[in-house]
Chains A and B, each alone.
Chain A
Amino acid sequence: MHTSSSKTFDQNRKVNDPPPLLKTKGVTISGYITEEGSGELLAGVSVYVPNLNLGTVTNDYGFFSLSLPEGEHTIFISHIGFSTKQRKLSLTTDRSIDVALSRTIAALKEVVVTAGQKVKASKTIQMSTVRLNPLDIQDAPTLLGEKDALKTLQLLPGIQGGTEGNSGFFVRGGTPDQNMVILDGAVVYNSSHLFGFFSVFNGDAIKSVEAFKGGFPARFGGRLSSMIKIETKDGNKEKLSGKINLGIISSSLLLEGPIKKGKTSFLLGGRRTYADLLSPIFQTTTTTDKSGYYFGDLNFKIHHILSSTDKLYWSNYFGRDQFYAKYNDGIGTEKIRLGWGNITSTIRWNHQFTNKLFSNTSFVFSNYDFKITSENEENTAFRNEEFSFSSGSGINDFTLKTDFEYYASSTHSIRFGAMATRHNFIPQRVLRKDDFVGNLKQIQRLNSFDSALYMEDDWKLNDRIQISSGLRVSYFNYKNTNYFNPETRLALAYTVKSDLALKASYTKMNQYIHLLSGSGIGLPTDLWVSSTDKVKPQSSQQFALGLAKDFFDKDYSLTVEGYYKTMDDVIAYKEGASFIAANEIDTEKTTDWEENVTSGQGWAYGTEVLFRKQTGKFTGWLGYTLSWSEREFEELNFGRKFFDRYDRRHDISVVGIYKPHERLTLSANWVFATGNNYTLPDLSTLETDIGFGIQPESYLSSDGPIKEFATARNNFRGESSHRLDLGIQWHKKLKKNKERSWGVSLYNAYARQNPFVYSIESTRFDFDDPDALPTKELTRTSVLVFVPSINYTLKF
C-alpha cells in the first residue's frame, strides 16, 4: 500500500539489475492528475516510466514530480478504478504535464494487471497503512443503507469495532481517543452520530480514506494509535452534477458543479434523519409527552484554481445530533434537549514554488460541543415557578500549519513543516435560573498550546534498501507547565525479490489531549481534556515488522505485520468515577475532572494479515488479527495488570464485492470477533452490620441482605460475535447521463444474537412453581439482529 507521499519505485526491475543511474542530463516532469469529466484532483496515482523502471505517485493534492534523463520516454499513468493512460514524451527540458484519467467500470472488463502500472505494497517503504477505495465504501453492505467509511475501515485488520453496530474503533490495542480523525485537515472530535451507530461522514462526499496504524511519518503526531485521513471531493469543475439518496432512516443530497468552469467548483452535501418527523404520526394526540431525535450533517467546499501554481480550498463541515423530550406529570412540565456536534472549517492554500517544491498551508478551526438543557414549570405546595438548567462541555481548536514537499531526485524526497494549535477546552459550562436555589453562571475554561516541527527524509539507497527517517519535535504548554518531546520515526524496507519486501518501523508518539470516557461506547458526554501539570501527556513506542508480497499475475497482495506497542501515562477514570462523571451530566459538576482520573501503562501486541484483491469483477479482502491489549494502573484493580475491555484475541473479516456486469453489484462481508471484557459482580455474601457509625445511603435502599461485589476489573469475557452482511445493488443508466440504483442490504443476515451489554437479573416469582428459590441470572442484550434495509440513489 502506498502513501500519499511521492515515493519512487520500480516494478519490473529484478533486484540484480543495475540501478537506474541517470547518466545523461536530468530533467523533471511535474503536474497534476485529475478525473476526466469533473476535474477532481486525484491522490495516489501512479506515474511510471517502464523503460527506466522509475516512478512516483501523486500527493494529496494530485501533484507529482519525477526526475528523468533526457530522451524519449513512455509514461504510464494509472490508478485503481481508472483506465491507464500512456504519454510519449521527448524530454530535453523540464516539462509540466497535466493528465485527466477516465473512470472504468470494473464489470465491463477484467483489468489486465501489468507489472509497473500500479503501486504495489512490496514497492513502498510505508507499512501499517491502508487506503480505502471510495468504491469499497459505496459497495459494501450497510446498516440501514448508511454508507459508512469508519465501519468499512473496521473490516480491515488492526482496526476493531467496539460493540455491535458501533462506528467507534480501536486500533492496535489503543483507546478511541488515541485515534485522530482528520477531515480535510481538521480534527473531528466526535466522529459518530446516534451514540456511535453511524459515523458523521457522508459517504457520498468522500474522495479518499487513508488509515495509518503505525510506522507514522513525522508529519503526523498528537495521537498514539492511528491517524484516519478523510478527504472530501473538491466539486465538479466541468458541469453541475449530483446525487440523491433515499434511505430508511435518512436521506441525503449531494450537489457539485462549477462556479467558474475549469477554475472554481463547489460541493454541497447534506444528510438528515427523519424519524422525528414521522414520529408524531405514531404518537397519540391525547398525551402531552413528546420526544424525538434526529441527526444531520452538511458538507460545503469550494475549490478555486488561482493559477497554475496556486490552488485554494475552503472546506466546511457541520454536524449535529439532537434529542428532545417534553413530559407532563400533572404537577408541572419538563422540557429536555440534548444536543451535540462538530463544526470544522479549513482553508488550504497549495503553492508550487518550483517543479520540485510543493507546499500546503492550512488554517483550521475545529469545534465540538455538547449541551443539555432542562426547562421546568412546577406547580406544587412548595414551588410555583419556572426554573431552568443548562450544562455542557466543548472544545475549540485554532490551527495554523504548513507543509513542504521537496522532490530532490528520483530516489530522494524530503518533507518538512510546522504546526501550531490553540486548544480552548470547556470541561464544564453551567447556567441555572432558579429563584428558589439561586441563579448560577459558571464556565470552566482551560487553554493550552500545542505545536510541532517535523522533517522526513525518504531515501532509496539502492535497489534493495529504502529508508525513511523522520524527527518531530513537539511542544505543549498549559499555564506554567511545558512539555517538550522529540519523537523519532524510522522505517526500513528490504526488497528480497521483485514482488517481496521485508519492512520494519519504529515510532515514538506523544498525545497531549485526552478523552475521558466512562461508557466505552463513545457517548457525547465523553469529555475532551488537556494535559496539565497533574495529568501528563500519553506517550507510546511502537515496533513493527512485516512482509509485503504481490502476486502480479492475479493482482493480489498479501501483507503480514507484527507489532509491539508500549503506552505510558494513559489515563482512565478511577474506581467509581465514571458514575460520578455520568451522574453530573444533568447537574452541577461538583468534582474536578483531574481528581477523577488516574494514569497507568498499557501494552499491545499482535499480528495482522491482509490478503487483498483490488481490481477486476471480484474484489475484496481477507483480514485476520491476533492481538493482546493489557493495562496496569496503580489505582485500579489493586495495581494488578488486566486485559483492556476491548482486548480481542481473534478478529476476522472477509469482504467480497462482485460486479458481473455494470447493472449489478453483489456484496457480502462476514466478521468474527472474540468477546469484549466486562466488569460484573461475580461474588455474593451475606450483608452484615459490623457497627460502622455511618451507613451509606445505598444500605438504606438495599433490596436484601445479600451483598454482591466484583473482585477484579474486566473479570468477565463476553461471548464471541459474528455476523454476515449481504448487499445487492441494481444500477440502470437513464437518459441524459443519469443513473438510478436500488440497493437492498441485510445486516446480520443469519440473525446472530451478538452481545451488546450484559446484566445480572433476578428471576421473577414463578406462579407455576411458587417454591422455586430466587436466582440470579446472567442476561445478554443483543441489538441489530437481522436488519433489512432498502435505499434508492439517483445520480445526475
Chain B
Amino acid sequence: MKNLFNLILGSLCLFACEKVIDSDRLLDTGEKVYILGFISPQDTVLRVSVKKAFSVFGPPANATEDGTNAYLITDAQVTLEDSFGNQVSLNYDQELKTYTTDSDNFAIIGGGAYTLRVSVGNNSYVATCQVPEKIPFIEHEAFLEISGERIRNGAINIRFLDFPAENNFYMLGINYGDNGNEQLNTFGSDSNLTIYSPGQFLTDVLTENDFIRARAEISLSGNQNVKNTTLTIQVANLEEILFQELRSSVLNQFADGDPFIEYSITGNNIIGEKGIGIFAGYQLTEKEIAIIEE
C-alpha cells in the first residue's frame, strides 16, 4: 500500500501544495467528558478513567505554560453496581490519575452485568457492560531459536476453543521477561485463520465452535536477555465494543495518517450529555512458557 501511496503523491507533487488552514471554521468540537473503564475478574484493582476531552487542534491541554493539566477531573463521583444491587465507590488516585478500588471490595464475575455511574458537576453519566466468559485453556507449540542470551527467531502456534453459539471477540498478547511486562506482539497467521493484521485481534466468524488458531512470529534484533526466563501467552475474551475500540486504536496508529484509509471512530456506550467513552468487560487467560536453551 505504501508503494501505491508514494506513487500517487509522487505523480501529483509537481502540481501540489500544502497549507495550514483554520480548523475552527470547519470543525466545531466542544469539550466532552471522556470515561474509560475495562473490568475483569482478573483485575486486582478496578480502575475507571474520567477525563476531559478537547479539540485535537491547538496545544495539548497538559502542555500549558503554568504546568497544569486541564484534562484531569479529580472530583467526579464514580460508582460500580452489579445486578444484585451491590455498589462500590471508586476514589481518585493521584498517581494513577484514575478512580480506583481494590477488587476485594467488589467482585467481578464472568457473565455478570455491571453498571457504571459517574457524576461530574451537575452532569451524570451511566453505562452498562457484561463480562464475558474466560477461555479455559490455551494450547501451544513453541519453536524458539536461541542464540546466546537472545531469541533470534521463533514462532509460537497457539490455539484455544471458541465459545459456541455466540459471536466472540478475542485479543492476543505475549509478554516476556521476569516481571512479564515487556511484550512481543508480532502476530502473523496462516491463511486458514481469521486473524486481523496487525495480528492481535481475532473473531470466530469463520471458525465458529472450533479451535481459534494463531501464530506468533518472533524475530528480535535487540539485546533483550530472555534465556531462562518465561514467555506469557495471553488471550482476552472481550465485549465487542472493547474489541472494536482497541482494534480501532491500533489500526489508526498503523494507518499513520494515510489519507486514503478511512479513519476508525471511537466506540461509545456512555449515556449522558457531552459524555463519551467505553465501559466494558473482558476476561484474561494466561499461560507461561519457560524459555530453555535447547
Contacts and interface: CB of A to CB of B under 8 A. Distances in A.
Interface of A: 194-195, 197, 293, 323, 325, 336, 338, 372, 382, 430, 440, 442, 518-521, 523, 525, 573, 575-576, 578-580, 582-592, 595, 637-638, 679-686, 688-702, 704-713, 715-719, 753, 756-761, 773-787
Of the candidates B183, B200, B259, the one having the most CB atoms from chain A within 10 angstroms of its own CB is B259
Contacts of B8: 195
A785 B15 contact: yes
Given A592-B194, A697-B185, A774-B59, A580 B251 contact: yes
A710 B260 contact: no
Nearest to A709: B266
A782 B19 contact: yes
B181 to A, nearest CB: 9
20 contacts: A325-B3, A442-B191, A519-B260, A525-B1, A583-B197, A586-B1, A586-B3, A595-B203, A683-B29, A684-B53, A688-B51, A691-B47, A715-B27, A719-B21, A753-B19, A773-B63, A775-B57, A777-B57, A780-B18, A785-B16
A591 B64 CA distance: 44
B273 interface: no
A705 B11 CA distance: 36
Q: Which 10 A-B pairs have the closest CB atoms?
A: A698-B253, A694-B173, A757-B259, A773-B59, A778-B23, A519-B260, A686-B71, A709-B266, A693-B284, A685-B53
Contacts, number: 288
A753 B61 CA distance: 32
Given A194-B11, A580-B251, A760-B257, A688 B268 contact: no
Nearest to B205: A595
Contacts of A519: 260-261
Contacts of B63: 773-774
B54 A685 contact: yes
A73 B199 CA distance: 79
A711 B266 contact: yes
A621 to B, nearest CB: 27
Interface stretch (B33-41, B80-88, B105-113, B158-166): B33-41
Contacts of A197: 11
Given A698-B254, A778-B27, A711 B265 contact: yes
Interface residues of B, number: 100
Given A715-B27, A781-B17, 9 more contacts: A440-B191, A691-B43, A694-B284, A700-B183, A773-B63, A782-B16, A782-B19, A785-B15, A785-B17
A253 B27 CA distance: 49
A323 B152 CA distance: 36
B17 A753 contact: yes
Interface in B206-253: 206, 234, 236, 244, 246-253
Nearest to B276: A711
Of the candidates A582, A585, A761, the one having the most CB atoms from chain B within 10 angstroms of its own CB is A582
B51 A685 contact: yes
A713 B267 CA distance: 11
A68 to B, nearest CB: 58
B153 interface: yes
Contacts of A323: 3, 7
Contacts of B258: 579, 582
A680 B250 CA distance: 16
A694 B187 CA distance: 14
A685 B34 contact: yes
A709 B265 contact: yes
Nearest to B286: A693
Given A682-B55, A777-B20, A783-B16, A693 B236 contact: yes
Contacts of A775: 57-59
Nearest to B44: A691
A783 B4 CA distance: 17
Contacts of B71: 685-686
Contact of A591 (B52, B65, B196, B200): B196
A690 B191 contact: no
B17 A782 contact: yes
B1 A710 contact: no
A717 to B, nearest CB: 7
Contact of A776 (B12, B57, B234, B244): B57
A79 B271 CA distance: 65
B234 A694 contact: yes
A4 B210 CA distance: 57
A688 B173 contact: no
A716 B257 CA distance: 15
A525 B4 contact: yes
A576 B55 CA distance: 22
Given A706-B62, A716-B27, A773-B65, A685 B52 contact: yes
Contact of B3 (A336, A701, A719, A778): A336
B41 to A, nearest CB: 11
A758 B171 CA distance: 32
Given A679-B265, A696-B246, A700-B183, A690 B26 contact: no
A523 B191 contact: no
Contacts of A591: 194-197
